[in-house]
Amino acid sequence: MRLAAVSGYACIDETLAVILRREKSVSRNLDTMRVAALRSMRKNRVLLPSRLRGSFWRDCLAGVYTDYAKPAYRAGRLGLAYADTLRALMLSPLGRGRLCLGLLRDFLLKKPV
């Protein structure tokens, strides 16, 4: 995030790294990853131009919440899945509302996500 704030970047269609998820790796711990992602979003908000620190940032933060609601649901942690989806809906009802309502519907109907 800090590099993107001071420089340009581009996406390339080539695998440059492979992430190995071992049993004890941090990337397997949903809670640790979620807390770190939310902390990073909050910490780096100041890197955005002031005009983007409002609704744009809330939409990005809502995206993090929905990103973590899905694996929480898959892990059977329904309370966390619902809470994160509702947080996202409150943060960005126009930007993420349709996604959040769709997730809530799928959670209620016990559909795979």
> Domain extents for the chain?
2-108
Q: Is 80 exceeded by the pLDDT of residue 45?
A: yes
- pLDDT for 59: 96
Q: How far apart are CA 50 and CA 29, in angstroms?
A: 33
Q: Is 80 exceeded by the pLDDT of residue 69?
A: yes
Q: Over the chain, what is the mean pLDDT?
A: 93
Q: Is 90 exceeded by the pLDDT of residue 86?
A: yes
